[in-house]
Amino acid sequence: MGHLSPQISPSGSILSEKRSLSVSQLKKRPNEDEGLSQRAYPDTSSPIRRSSSIILPSNIPFSSRGGSLKKSSSRRGSIKKYSSRKSSRAGSMRSLLQTNKDIDENNSIFYSPVPTKGNPTELLAYRFKTAWRKFLKNLITCFREIQASYDHRKKSLLKISNILKNTIVPPGFLKYGGIHDATLILKKYHRKSSTDAKKFKDIENDVILALVELRSDLKQKIKEIKNLSGDFKNCLEKRMESTYRTFNEFHESLGLTDIDSTHFKGRPDPYLLKLATDHMIKKQITEENYLHQAYLNLEISGRKLDAIIVGEIQKSYLAYATILRREAEIAKDTFENLHNGPIFMPKDQEWSHFLKESEDFVDPEVPIRQSKNIKYLGMDDELVQEVRVGVLERKSKHLNSYTTGWYVLTQTHLHEFNSADKSQAPVISLNISEQKLRLPSIPDSTSNTFMLKGRQTGVMMHRECSWVFRCESHETMISWYEALKNLIEDSSQERNKYFPKFSRSSNAISQIANSIGGSDGAVEDEEPSCCEILVLATRDSTED
């Protein structure tokens, strides 16, 4: 038996350093008056720890001290009274009488610390058979279920691992650094857990085999323990009765002894009775020590056997705890990888990657353009510049009233808009090269009107019309008049000289073209339509 090393042997002499008997007394037990034969008590070489938590049934005999002789309540009560003459001497033997109150119970001849009745081997056998073997049976069943669970878990983990292995990254998703990392992490976790589950099953198998072997060995040890039941039969009670009778005779002699020799005739000397009492006490203590040492040897063996069982159970729990720790480490690593990766990654990380990889979406990092920042060829040409802008009032043709409008004067035209917004088409447009500028027929220094006569642009009629305009002040009228006069009378070259701030060199035009197009002349952005150019140019001039 590999697990239970202690051997409980019913034969052999008792050798213990705790015994108070001499070596000569231990070699041979004294012959008993009652005819008991000489015998020895068990000596166990490898005792085990005993547990105090066991609950024993009522039908199991329990060792007690009920079989020990009870001491007399008073020594005087056990001595027969005789009528005698009191001694007048100080050295009378009556002065030796003392009460039992001065004697410690542990050192009394009427007390024994060892149970004289009972069967301790049955108690020990009950502990290892009913308690430990039953506990081991339940523990083996538990570990078998754990082993079966790991077998089932291995199959489930392998199935999940195969499913994750066949998972393909959808188009447009990040292969690494995205939500697909969770699949890779879980795939690794289930593959490792499946491999470890197979190892855990083998470990549990070794644990179960060890516990089964321990339970089988324990059955043999229980038989050996039961074979020791005869070794605890004793004659200690008879020894104590013999000692008690001798002690009573000794006390009776003390009660009858006196200096008066008339009462001492035919009676033994108390001294001899004391020697006989001491001799009986030695026999009683020798028998008691043999029995006591047998109990100690059985207790030590039981303690060691109990410790071996507990040690094997602890090994099984340690093996299972190691498995749980390994599982916890794998789960912890998986949690940290998921926590630091796909769980707390930016929620729009996959979407941003999708937009960057797709040509049908606009990258949100590209800023929205503004019309004022748009550049195109000819946008700063002198022909499209505003020479003068402001509010003018135009006289109605049929009514003597004026209509307010927003006027824009360019090098070639005078346009009337409903407002400064200029988002709508002009109300009228006059080509200044086809107009004649006139002042009122009666010049007045306070007059603030002037007149244009000619044809309206875009009208099919060929007859000339007159337009009278009124300004807010005379100074404003003079400014409008001078500007129109110079544009009407001067040639194109003179107009460029008159408005140098609007002239542009050919190099400046080339720079604008290069800023819009690439170095190879290609245009990066799609050119707007003519209508969009008109509206944007109008809004741009308004914002400026």
Residue 101 pLDDT greater than 60, yes or no: no
Domain that holds residue 448: 383-489
Highest mean pLDDT among 313-327, 348-362, 483-497: 313-327
- 199 versus 45: the higher-pLDDT residue is 199
CATH number (domain holding residue 410): 2.30.29.30
Q: Which runs of consecutive H residues, i.e. helices, occur in 93-173?
A: 120-126, 133-165
Give the pLDDT score at 464: 78
Are 426 and 315 in the same domain?
Answer: no
Are 292 and 391 in the same domain?
Answer: no
370 found inside a domain: no
Give the pLDDT score at 460: 56
Are 395 and 247 in the same domain?
Answer: no
Give the pLDDT score at 225: 85
CATH number (domain holding residue 334): 1.20.1270.60
Are 147 and 276 in the same domain?
Answer: yes
User: Domain end: 461, 489, 517, which one?
Assistant: 489
pTM for this entry: 0.51
The whole-angstrom separation of Cα 541 and Cα 544 is: 5
74 found inside a domain: no
Q: Which runs of consecutive H residues, i.e. helices, occur in 17-100?
A: 23-27
Instruction: List, in order, residues 6 or more apart from 322 with CB less than 8 Å away.
Output: 203
Query: Among 43-52, 218-227, 296-305, where is mean pLDDT lowest?
Result: 43-52
The whole-angstrom separation of Cα 45 and Cα 210 is: 24
Q: Measuring CA to CA, how many Å separate 509 from each of 241, 290, 515, 539?
A: 141, 128, 10, 22
Are 388 and 325 in the same domain?
Answer: no
Are 334 and 401 in the same domain?
Answer: no
Beta-carbon count within 10 A of 20 CB: 9
Are 331 and 398 in the same domain?
Answer: no
Are 390 and 336 in the same domain?
Answer: no
220 found inside a domain: yes
282 found inside a domain: yes
Question: Of 117, 112, 64, 121, nearest to 288 (Cα)?
Answer: 112
Are 404 and 478 in the same domain?
Answer: yes
Domain count, the chain: 2
Give the pLDDT score at 11: 33
Reported confidence tier of residue 263, pLDDT bands at 50, 70, 90: low
Would you state the structure tokens that stand for residue 243, as one six-digit string? Answer: 């000692």
Taking only the tens place, the pLDDT of each residue in 2-49 is 444 444 433 333 223 333 333 333 333 333 333 323 333 333 333 333
Q: Mean pLDDT across the stretch 451-470?
A: 78
Residue 538 pLDDT greater than 60, yes or no: no
Are 325 and 240 in the same domain?
Answer: yes
Q: Mean pLDDT across the stretch 460-476?
A: 83
Q: Which runs of consecutive H residues, i.e. helices, occur in 166-269?
A: 181-226, 236-256
